[in-house]
Chain A
């Protein structure tokens, strides 16, 4: 057997989270129209301002066309063949606690290795689980409420905290931003909302699990996180999805707002169904994530581990408005089989002495295509701005591809921008070398991949690093010395 075959075998392990949960769903008919939007809004009991915002977004969306500048390819999406709302039936009675949650749902999470209650209790993580489009479980709310922290589903926030929502919704990603963000604004079903009041340090990692389940249901999550002056919050988002045949559209929007001296850390482990070995099925993940360092000395960090989806199209960005603001982007993106990823970040320097760091690690295997696309923009006002970017690519086998598209626009002469890039390959000679030292080839691959990713994994909270390790199907490198 040649080592190429061996490599292929190692990297073609089946998607472990491929199962389908039978839960009755309550969907609106397929297709998109103002009626459908009114229906969604009515089902959720939203105030008028929300409906008006959705309709404005929809009308704007009608004037736009699907973007095609990314290095990804997919058949045309029929937006009239998508069901824009599905909620688990159990929600009608409104689960009051975890015990009230549909046992089928709880088993689903358990199969994924995310036993909610254990995780919540043992790890001190508050979990706002999203099953399809509606939150079904929220924990630790009381403890957080004691500190004045609001952490709830987006729907609840719209009803309970309409003023906060009204003030911040769309203030980072306006409904006119881009095709998929506009679509999301019109039809978003649910998501998470978080507000940390001035001076409060959120005592636990906040976490959300997303999951696509009902067939032909687009997922349109919306997340809004606000850290008020001097506040701190670390937010974890992770998701897996069951195996299925047809492609599914996922167009989420995440908005982060950090006011003066505030800090937000946002970490993602993304494992949507990537399609089968021939490239059939899989999720289209077209996401708009953006943070706004609105106040002086504020800081926003994005850390992402992207292993799933047929297509990933995602650029978590930071707008550095406040003076001395800091933006960070740490990313590991893995593409295998026929997966495509076009991902990266945008760092927009507006304030004085703003700093940004970009560290991107792309891993391609099989026929996977991995592109880093990043923009570093330094405005005239950004005196003393600094950026450091590093983009590394790792190739497994010789049928995959890695591409790097760095864009740099500097309008201030005092700015300092550095960019470094590298490409390497896991070779059969490396595997044999490890084997000849007694290390099994799968452990060798995992050792090499983890060695490649360790600078990014270091940025993840401990329990999430474990999750990342699982999702990469490899074990984390132990720390020595």
Chain B
């Protein structure tokens, strides 16, 4: 089977600044990869390219065997990205946020399925509370719930542990291992080395927009 992500000579420029200066990378299906590096080394840019948000300046990018940016829609349907701040609306309740996301994603799930998913992240009591009243941990759990609306084949997590307490970190980590056991590939971008590498199959270090080292965990 082809790798879930295959990248050759990927560069991305923002005006004069090069965020990615030639990335070569392959990620096997069903593995968890920790993408490490200081701030500004290109982790977020790389995830945005994989998730189709950014077009590459040059280079070949294949995600799920499809070439970007040509087969965007296919990749979008099978990929889930979690940004550091999340994609939830303050004035909507937890349930309404999920309802919005499921209507945007495809044939919508019923409210009872949405309740079940909320129960899975222990938000059943906050289903009808507006997100503006949520704590950081609750927001992260709602994000995890949102990503479960579809069954993605590739999960991209951008700094998933930032500003979480121990309990929150454990929840995210257990979710990652769930994905792994289901055969879903996960790429975690983080500067928290210990947390991110626990449970990772491979560790990729970025430096100044290039892959500095790759090792098996």
Q: Do A and B come from one complex?
A: no
Q: Which residues of B contact A (CB under 8 A)?
A: none
Enumerate chain A interface residues (CB-CB to B < 8 A): none
